[in-house]
Amino acid sequence: MSKLKITHLKQEDLDILEAMIIEFAKYENMLNDLKCTKEKLQQILNNEHICAFLLKEDEKTIGYMIYFYTFSSFLGSRGIYLEDIYIRENFRKKGYGRQVFKFLGELCKKEKLARLDWVCLNENILGINFYESLKAEHLKQWRNYRLSGKNLAKLCDLC
């Protein structure tokens, strides 16, 4: 297994991150939903609550991950929400996903974080099988909800 290098996102990395987010949106058949731009990504660099990393094999960028910190009132503890983990198709099944989760597990241990959360599309069978191999729990009792766009803008009028 090759060693994965995980590096903090820098200003000069924004173009490659934008390209990979587009690849990820295509992979998930969600390109029409993509609104992220390089200008919006610039905000990541200036936000201490959002952490973005590039994943590299021999200095070649092969993926990325973005996470942010959360808080659980039930646990009384912070955690991490993994917004994205993306590894380019030619580099999957090489153990890199496990290395990313090991990195996140070590971070959780070091910072005394209680949990690591993420979502996965129902049709992403490769991802589901991988996450279950890590002993991740499928939270069947929860539903994900979202307000965005016009519905989010109308929220103040509803309440």
**131 noted as active-site residue:** yes
DSSP state of 13: G
Distance CA 1, CA 94 (A): 6
Q: Token pair of 133, please?
A: 């191999």
Give the rounded distance of the alpha carbon of 27 from its chain centre.
14
- DSSP, residue by residue, 61-130: EEEEEEEEEEEETTTTEEEEEEEEEEE-GGGTTSSHHHHHHHHHHHHHHHTT--EEE----TT-HHHHHH
- Catalytic member of 64, 67, 86, 131: 131
Query: Would you name the residues annotated as active-site residues?
Result: 131
